[in-house]
């Protein structure tokens, strides 16, 4: 695992159409209209499958090895935690996001990691930019994450650490993280190892957004940077 770029290619290789994934994740992160698009989601090994259209959403739940909350449970937890009305322009997209993230969370291969957290925080903050109340916006964030039985404070802390680390990198230092020691470097190494092994890594759009955000903050979004990482991997391989 020679670079963040290599890590991104390892993850993206799990998808049948890499170009469409890149396009959709950029829309997800930086265009709230893109978030409004109806999507389909299939989770073969997680015991849950969903499909949606502009008029309805159908959730198919199948028995699994262990109990997992239903989508309805997660949505109800969110509504219980945040009881105030949410303007429909925000609420519609939030409801779609929470369904998608529920399906990701309860896949057997899912494991929380800071890059995933950075991706979700990026999407959420972009979506909720301009919300009438900063206090309500943060309360919604906390209710959303807690409804998924995760820690909203951990999401914020991990996302901030990754952003600060990436801002201190150059394109060269970013792709050389495996040769260095540190908290963030160790986290990225662990993710890269899991991404390279079959069955132990859960790719998602939030993860992809997190990767692109790291590259963006380090000014390493040029294709030549990614090609350098791939070339270094082959040379050491």
Cα separation, 47 vs 189, in Å, equals 29
Is residue 43 very low, low, confident or very high in pLDDT (cuts 50, 70, 90)? very low
109 exposure class (CB count in 10 Å sphere: 0-12, 13-18, 19+): middle
Cα separation, 47 vs 58, in Å, equals 15
Q: Which residue has the higher pLDDT, 97 or 21?
A: 97
Count CB-CB contacts under 10 A for residue 229.
Answer: 22
Does 137 score more than 70 pLDDT?
yes
The 10s digit of each residue's pLDDT in 55-103 is 333 333 333 346 789 999 999 999 999 999 999 999 999 999 999 999 9
Q: Which residue has the higher pLDDT, 59 or 105?
A: 105
Query: What pLDDT, on a 0 to 100 scale, did the predictor assign at position 171?
Result: 79
Question: What are the structural domain ranges in the chain?
Answer: 4-37+68-236
Query: What pLDDT, on a 0 to 100 scale, did the predictor assign at position 125?
Result: 96
The 10s digit of each residue's pLDDT in 205-235 is 999 999 999 989 988 777 666 566 556 555 6
Cα separation, 35 vs 110, in Å, equals 22
Query: What pLDDT, on a 0 to 100 scale, did the predictor assign at position 183?
Result: 92
pTM of the model: 0.71
Count CB-CB contacts under 10 A for residue 136.
Answer: 14
The 10s digit of each residue's pLDDT in 145-192 is 999 999 999 999 999 999 999 999 887 788 788 888 889 999 999 988
Q: Which residue has the higher pLDDT, 231 or 204?
A: 204
The 10s digit of each residue's pLDDT in 25-35 is 445 444 434 43
Residues of the chain with pLDDT > 90, as a percent, come to 49
């Amino acid at each position: 695992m020679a670079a963040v770029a290599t890590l991104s290619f390892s993850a993206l290789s799990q998808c049948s159409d890499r170009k469409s994934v890149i396009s959709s994740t950029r829309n997800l992160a930086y265009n709230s209209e893109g978030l409004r698009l109806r999507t389909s989601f299939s989770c073969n090994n997680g015991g849950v499958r969903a499909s949606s259209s502009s008029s309805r959403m159908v959730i198919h739940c199948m028995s699994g090895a262990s109990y997992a909350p239903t989508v309805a449970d997660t949505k109800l937890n969110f509504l219980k935690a945040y009881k105030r009305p949410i303007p429909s322009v925000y609420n519609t997209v939030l409801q779609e996001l929470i369904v998608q993230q529920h399906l990701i969370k309860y896949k057997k291969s899912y494991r929380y990691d800071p890059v995933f957290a950075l991706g979700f925080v990026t999407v959420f903050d972009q979506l909720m930019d301009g919300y009438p109340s900063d206090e309500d916006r943060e309360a919604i964030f906390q209710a959303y994450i807690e409804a998924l039985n995760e820690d909203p404070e951990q999401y914020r802390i991990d996302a901030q650490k990754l952003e600060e680390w990436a801002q201190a990198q150059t394109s060269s230092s970013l792709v050389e993280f495996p040769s260095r020691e540190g908290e963030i470097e160790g986290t990225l190494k662990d993710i890269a190892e899991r991404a390279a092994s079959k069955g132990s890594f859960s790719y998602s759009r939030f993860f992809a957004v997190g990767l692109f955000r790291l590259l963006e903050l380090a000014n390493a979004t040029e294709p030549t940077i990614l090609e350098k990482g791939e070339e270094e991997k082959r040379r050491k391989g």
